[in-house]
A = this chain, B = another copy of it.
Amino acid sequence: MRAENLDRFLSATGRGLHASAIRRMGTVADRRADVISFAAGYPATELFPLEELRAIAADVLHGDGLAIQYGPTRGHAPLLEALAEEMVKRSVAAEPPDLLVTTGSQQGLDLVARVLVDPGDTVLVELPTFTGGISAFANAQARLAGVRVGAQGLDLDDLEGVTASLRRDGIRPKLLYVVPNFQNPTGRLLSQPGRRGLIEWADRHDCLIVEDDPYGALYFEGEVAPDAVTPIKAGDASGRVIYLSSFSKTLAPGFRVGWMAADARLIERFEIAKQAADLASGTLDQRLVCEAMRRGVLDRLAPRLRAQYRSRRDAMTAALRARLDGRLTWIEPHGGFFLWATLPPGEDDTALLERALDERLLFVTGSAFFVDGSGHDTIRLAFSAVSEALIDEGVARLAQALDRRPVGSEASDG
């Protein structure tokens, strides 16, 4: 069907589109047999509550057919009510007017970018940060400035420094994008004092905060107190925090059901933007998720997910200690899906990935998560979707890939 090159018709957005490195990795993984993938942050398929969902689907598809008719853009009303209750559990007072169902939380990011970001606006993101956030803001032609992530999550001192530096250039950042709980990609948890500090910073500099929280429910019991994951939004007196979350990691991602909680006036704007983006999120999907909440499926599942992902984290750290101690360094994550590792001096993430592919191992290069071009000495290893036995084998392949570094490359790369 390709007759001639039509690139002359592309908009500035169309020309500058930012493809996801993670999605590319997924495509590679699909094509190769016998690959172990630490790349995509997929939830464990074998933990999906398929039987319960099958029963729910049979019930929901009975009756009047409204389960597959068009639904309101704002979301299925009983789901909005259930989300309001869920937000209360998360210490956030939100009523349905403050809520919008989104087609995954990726759509929440996209709506934020479109409704709030003009080309050239400055958006602060973590160094490193989630590539889906980078793409959404970059596609809105934002200028992205990075703030370092430390042991306690986003580094408030660096945030003040970056803000001051921008101010000296006459630039006021419009919003800060942050993943406080078991951050993608580092696995770090932003401390509660740090969260209060962010609110104080946003009030002082008149900025908005976009809080992306897909992993909060997946804290590892005994390592982290449940209230350590209390959202930034819980302390938001001025309405500056736009909170995003999702069922993709706690139920299943194929439903594409996420939500936003924010100032009701902003929610109205996001809703109108969503009308033209996809009219509404899937009606059946929303009803399935809503019933899974009401029937306690999610509440029963959560402790099992926490335990299973902790076991996988344990398997990965045990394998790393056994096979790569002293060569890789990492900070143990206490929740979520990801382990963030720093490579030996002189090693390069992209060169290592090429050798890892030869060993039939996938991960995501750390540099993909940095908006400042750095991070080539880091990699992200997702332990969420790989069995414990294969985690060990994957780490063995990683060790082999590291071993295969060409002689003399340290000097030239370093």
Structural contact, A53 and B69, CB atoms closer than 8 A: no
Contacting residues, chain B, for A204 (C-beta < 8 A): none
Is A12 engaged at the interface, CB distance under 8 Å to the other chain?
yes
Contacting residues, chain B, for A281 (C-beta < 8 A): 256
Is A374 engaged at the interface, CB distance under 8 Å to the other chain?
no
Structural contact, B68 and A18, CB atoms closer than 8 A: no
Is A40 engaged at the interface, CB distance under 8 Å to the other chain?
yes
Structural contact, A17 and B115, CB atoms closer than 8 A: yes
Structural contact, B110 and A14, CB atoms closer than 8 A: no
Is A194 engaged at the interface, CB distance under 8 Å to the other chain?
no
Structural contact, B13 and A273, CB atoms closer than 8 A: yes
Contacting residues, chain B, for A235 (C-beta < 8 A): none
User: Can you list, as one digit per residue, whether each of A282-298 has a CB less than 8 Å from chain B (1) or not (0)?
Assistant: 11110010000000000
Within 8 A of B (CB), among A12-55: 12-14, 17-20, 23, 26-27, 30, 40, 42-43, 45-46, 48, 50, 53-54
- Check A65/B48 contact, CB under 8 A, given A1-B239, A3-B239, A103-B103: yes
Contacting residues, chain B, for A9 (C-beta < 8 A): 116, 174-175, 208, 266
User: Can you list, as one digit per residue, whether each of A60-72 has a CB less than 8 Å from chain B (1) or not (0)?
Assistant: 0111111111111
Structural contact, B69 and A46, CB atoms closer than 8 A: no
Q: Among B17, B42, B273, which residue has its beta carbon within 8 angstroms of that of A14?
A: B273
Is A168 engaged at the interface, CB distance under 8 Å to the other chain?
no
Q: What is the CA–CA distance of A7 and B239 in the complex, to the nearest angstrom?
A: 12
Contacting residues, chain B, for A115 (C-beta < 8 A): 10-11, 13-14, 17
Is A93 engaged at the interface, CB distance under 8 Å to the other chain?
yes
Within 8 A of B (CB), among A256-294: 256, 261-266, 269, 272-273, 275-285, 288
**Cβ-closest chain B residue relative to A12:** B118
Structural contact, B4 and A118, CB atoms closer than 8 A: no
User: Which residues of A are interface residues toward B (Cβ below 8 A)?
Assistant: 1-7, 9-14, 17-20, 23, 26-27, 30, 40, 42-43, 45-46, 48, 50, 53-54, 57-58, 61-73, 93-95, 98, 103-104, 106-107, 109-110, 114-118, 121, 132, 135-136, 139-140, 174-175, 208, 237-240, 248, 252-256, 261-266, 269, 272-273, 275-285, 288
Contacting residues, chain B, for A67 (C-beta < 8 A): 254
Q: What is the CA–CA distance of A175 and B17 in the complex, to the nearest angstrom?
A: 20
Structural contact, A68 and B53, CB atoms closer than 8 A: yes
Contacting residues, chain B, for A175 (C-beta < 8 A): 9
Q: Among B11, B43, B68, B264, which residue has its beta carbon within 8 angstroms of that of A252?
A: B68
Structural contact, B19 and A272, CB atoms closer than 8 A: yes
Structural contact, B253 and A3, CB atoms closer than 8 A: no
List 13 extra interface pairs beyond A11-B116, A14-B269, CB under 8 A.
Answer: A2-B263, A14-B115, A19-B272, A43-B69, A54-B57, A54-B62, A57-B57, A65-B252, A68-B253, A107-B277, A254-B283, A256-B281, A256-B282
Q: Among B103, B104, B285, which residue has its beta carbon within 8 angstroms of that of A284?
A: B285
Q: In whole Å, how far is A204's beta carbon from the nearest beta carbon of chain B?
A: 15
- Check A254/B68 contact, CB under 8 A, given A11-B118, A107-B277, A263-B1: yes
Q: In whole Å, how far is A302's beta carbon from the nearest beta carbon of chain B?
A: 17
Structural contact, B68 and A107, CB atoms closer than 8 A: no
Structural contact, A269 and B17, CB atoms closer than 8 A: yes
Query: Can you name 25 A-B pairs with beta carbons within 8 Å?
Result: A1-B94, A2-B263, A9-B208, A9-B266, A11-B121, A14-B114, A14-B269, A17-B115, A20-B275, A23-B279, A42-B69, A45-B69, A48-B69, A50-B62, A50-B65, A54-B62, A68-B252, A103-B278, A106-B278, A110-B277, A110-B278, A114-B139, A256-B283, A278-B278, A284-B288
- Check A239/B2 contact, CB under 8 A, given A276-B18, A278-B278: yes
Structural contact, B17 and A140, CB atoms closer than 8 A: no
Q: What is the CA–CA distance of A2 and B47 in the complex, to the nearest angstrom?
A: 39
Q: What is the CA–CA distance of A161 and B340 in the complex, to the nearest angstrom?
A: 61
